[in-house]
A = this chain, B = another copy of it.
Amino acid sequence: MKLFNKQTATLITAAGLGLAAVSSAWAAESLQDVMKARGLSQQDLMAAAKTYVPTGKRDDFIAFSSGGQSGQVIVYGIPSMRILKYIAVFTPEPWQGYGFDEESKAVLKQGQIDGKDITWGDTHHPAISETNGKYDGQFLFINDKANPRLAVIDLRDFETKQIVVNPIFKSEHGGAFVSPNTEYIIEAAQYASPLANKKFVPLERFNEEYRGGVTYWKFDRKEGRIDVKNSFSLELPPYSQDLSDFGKGPSDGWSFTNSFCTERYVGGIEKNRPPYEAGCSAKDTDYMHVINWKKAAELVAQGKAKKINGHNVIMMETSIKEGILYLVPEPKSPHGVDVSPDGTHMVVSGKLDTHVSVYSFDKIMAAVKAKKFEGADPYGIPVIAMKDALARQVQLGLGPLHTQYDSKKCVAYTSLYVDSQVAKWDYCEGKVLDKLSIHYNIGHLNTMQGDSMDPKGHYLVALNKLAIDRFNPVGPLHPQNHQLIDISGDKMQLLYDMPLPLGEPHYMVSIDAKLLKPGIRYKHGTNSRTDKPHPGAVRAGEEKTVRKGNKVEVFGTLIRSHITPETIEVNVGDEVTINLTNLERAEDETHGFTVSTYNVHASVEPGKTSSVKFKADKEGVYPYYCTEFCSALHLEMQGYLLVKPKGYKEVKVAAAKAVYTEDDYKKQVKKINDTQAVIDSVVGFITSHNYKDFPDVVSLVEDATDQLGRMKEAKTKHEEAAKAKDWQNATLWAEQVWQYQVKAADIGLRAKTYLEEHGAKKVGK
Contact = CB atoms under 8 A, between A and B. Distances in A.
A410 interface: no
Interface in A40-67: 40-59, 62, 67
12 contacts: A24-B491, A53-B497, A58-B472, A83-B501, A84-B474, A155-B475, A199-B621, A202-B650, A267-B566, A276-B566, A277-B562, A282-B732
Interface in A716-749: 717, 729, 731-733, 735-736, 739, 742, 745-746, 749
Interface stretch (A245-253, A313-321, A364-372, A633-641): A633-641
B49 A625 contact: no
A470 B95 contact: no
A432 interface: no
A242 interface: yes
A404 interface: no
A13 B4 contact: yes
B43 A57 contact: no
Contact of A147 (B46, B275, B521, B596): B596
Given A6-B13, A493-B26, A543-B270, A200 B620 contact: yes
Given A1-B22, A1-B27, A190-B635, 12 more contacts: A4-B30, A8-B31, A40-B49, A83-B83, A94-B120, A191-B640, A200-B620, A269-B565, A274-B733, A276-B639, A282-B660, A476-B518
Interface residues of A, number: 256
Which of A275, A333, A736 has the most chain B CB atoms closer than 10 A to its own CB?
Answer: A275
A628 interface: yes
Contacts of A623: 170-171, 190-191, 193
A474 B157 CA distance: 7
Nearest to A595: B146
A439 interface: yes
Given A10-B6, A85-B479, A750-B420, A627 B492 contact: no
A204 B653 contact: yes
B475 A276 contact: no
Contacts of A629: 443, 465, 504, 506
Contact of A22 (B41, B191, B265, B266): B41
Top 5 A-B pairs ranked by shortest CB distance?
Answer: A9-B9, A48-B52, A94-B120, A25-B491, A191-B623
A642 interface: yes
A36 interface: yes
Interface stretch (A217-225, A229-237, A586-594): A586-594
B43 A592 contact: no
Given A31-B49, A735-B282, A69 B170 contact: no
* Stoichiometry, copies per complex: 2
Nearest to A696: B469
Contact of A69 (B119, B279, B627): B627
A20 B41 CA distance: 8
A362 to B, nearest CB: 31
Contact of A9 (B4, B56, B443, B757): B4
B5 A13 contact: yes
Contacts of A30: 3-5, 8
A476 B121 CA distance: 25
Interface string A164-196: 000000110100000000000000001101100
A681 interface: no
Given A473-B520, A493-B25, A644-B200, A281 B739 contact: yes
A162 B77 CA distance: 36
